[in-house]
Structure 1
């Protein structure tokens, strides 16, 4: 949901070098982890419904424009397909494409917990062409009648550029501040390098249908700052 920048540190590191990253992975409903969180939740978009997430992310030396549609045609299989256009100050413009599938084995219930599995690939455009492959397990815990939700991700990433495997992880939270406003925060990374963090606000313009958000992120210790703003549209069930 998130993707969602999908919980992969590699995406953020490459984006700051002028390469588009993931997307998280990234679809959900009202109180679920969604754009702009990189740490995903143990839920899918509603059965027979779809959503579109779009956002702009400003890095130190590049700007990313993302669009990520997702649908749940079977009731428990969320399919995401989208991509990005990145404009880099030193390496020009290029596109990336992302595909992801996600399912839930234990649905997240109020004051309970749930878990699932997501897997996907990101094809990077120039200058770092190739496919990254990833998979991760999202685990979520609901507290205080869904007014607070915690998320934990643990996964694997096969990086195309280095031809290496990495362990990925993410820890995130969502806290309801008012009827329409949520505070979101997370830290995430992989088994090498300093972790990254991100925090911001999410606001429902139309409850359960139209959402906007804004975040600030960086690497612990500094050096990879970014800002993002996003728009999320969710449909009622309409698929056959």
Structure 2
């Protein structure tokens, strides 16, 4: 169940998420996430996030996003850390299709 709350004319977004997962052959467990995004300059934003599931250590993540084409094409990089595991680096691209297609 996701929820996003906007502040400062969408420059600051707070994301909350609660859910449930049941891996095959394992008992179900609650999941959660809290995160935020801040647009600090035209085309640039940063994000912080923490997520996990019941009785598991949380993962924390920080990222940077640049809009190549505002509202259509973004590039992003993030680093995540879960206690007891190596850092994970992710590089990505988000392409938003025109509203006509969905």
Instruction: Establish whether residue 232 from structure 1 lines up as the match of residue 90 from structure 2.
Output: no
Pairs within 5 Å for 1:193-208: 193-208=56-71
Hey, what does 1:62 align to over in structure 2?
A: none
Offset, 1:188: 0.4
Going by fraction, where is strand more abundant, 1 or 2?
2
Hey, what does 2:80 align to over in structure 1?
A: 217
Q: Aligned partners of 2:30 and 2:95: how far apart in 1?
A: 32
How many corresponding residue pairs? 102
SS of the equivalent of 1:193 reads coil
Q: Aligned partners of 1:239 and 1:195: how far apart in 2?
A: 36
Hey, what does 2:37 align to over in structure 1?
A: 174
1:168-206 alpha-carbon deviations (Å, 9 max, x no partner): 000000001101000011000001121101101011001
- Runs of 4 or more consecutive aligned structure 1 residues displaced over 6 Å after TM superposition: none
Structure 2 residues not aligned, in runs of 5+: none
Q: Aligned partners of 1:170 and 1:195: how far apart in 2?
A: 9
Instruction: Establish whether residue 185 from structure 1 lines up as the match of residue 48 from structure 2.
Output: yes
**RMSD of Structure 2 on Structure 1 (CA):** 1.4
The normalised TM-score by structure 2 is 0.92
Asked which structure has the greater RCO (Cα within 8 Å, sep 6+), the reply is 1
